[in-house]
Amino acid sequence: MNPAAPSTSSESASAGAAWRRRAGLWWLGLSARDRQLLWLGAAVLGLFVLWALAVQPALGTLKQAATERDRLDAQWQAMQRLAVEARSLRATPALPAAQAAAALQAATERLGTQGQLLLQGERAVLTLDNASPGQLRDWLAEARAGARARPVEAALSRAPGGGFSGSLVVSLGGAP
């Protein structure tokens, strides 16, 4: 037979049979004590593999499940509070445009030099210059509660001083 020729399936089957025969003779050549030690070692190795691949990952998941469930419950409750708030805001009647504009002007005056308001019909554009996160949060809360204005567009960036710069467009009253 040519050594460079690929082996056939019958040759690999006979090679497998020869290997099994040699392994069987080797096994029979071992003493009973050695065979018991090898079986014990194989059992310990099998148990370790079972532990590492099946039991340990499942136990880790169970340990994390309670914490994850509590975190998700808290997140769900926060979403429910926001949903209730959104429903109550939708149910609130729209303010007249003049009253909404006055509320936005008052909120903008509290920003001082960091904010400038431009009214354009049913929308208002707030231009910010390094306004602190607290100032922006307070302005948005006052715009929502006092003027019933909803943000529709924001182009904000962090200023070097840690505040926000850019523009924020809000819709007044019942206008979308």
Is the pLDDT at 136 greater than 70? The verdict is yes
Does residue 11 form part of some domain?
A: no
Burial of 36 (0-12, 13-18, 19+ CB in 10 A): exposed
The helix, strand and coil proportions of the chain, stated in percent and rounded to the nearest 5, come to 65, 20, 20
φ/ψ bin of 90: left (φ > 0), alpha (ψ from -120 to 50), beta (otherwise): alpha
Q: Are 108 and 142 in contact (CB under 8 A)?
A: no
**Does residue 41 sit within a domain?**
yes
**pLDDT confidence of residue 50:** 93
Average pLDDT over residues 109-127: 92
Give yes or no for residue 173 having a pLDDT over 70. no
Single out the residue in 72, 90, 108 at which a domain terminates: 90
User: Residue 12 has what pLDDT?
Assistant: 78
Q: Does 9 map to a domain?
A: no
Same domain assignment for residues 107 and 144: yes
Element (H, E) at 106: helix 97-109
Q: Side-chain half-sphere of 29: how many Cα atoms within 13 Å?
A: 6
Determine what percent of the chain is predicted with pLDDT higher than 90: 51
* Rounded average pLDDT over 85-113: 86
Of the three residues 71, 90, 109, the one that is the final residue of a domain is 90
- Please give the model's pTM, rounded to 2 decimal places: 0.52
Mean pLDDT score of the chain: 87
Residue 96: predicted pLDDT: 84
pLDDT for res 124 = 93
Distance CA 16, CA 14 (A): 5
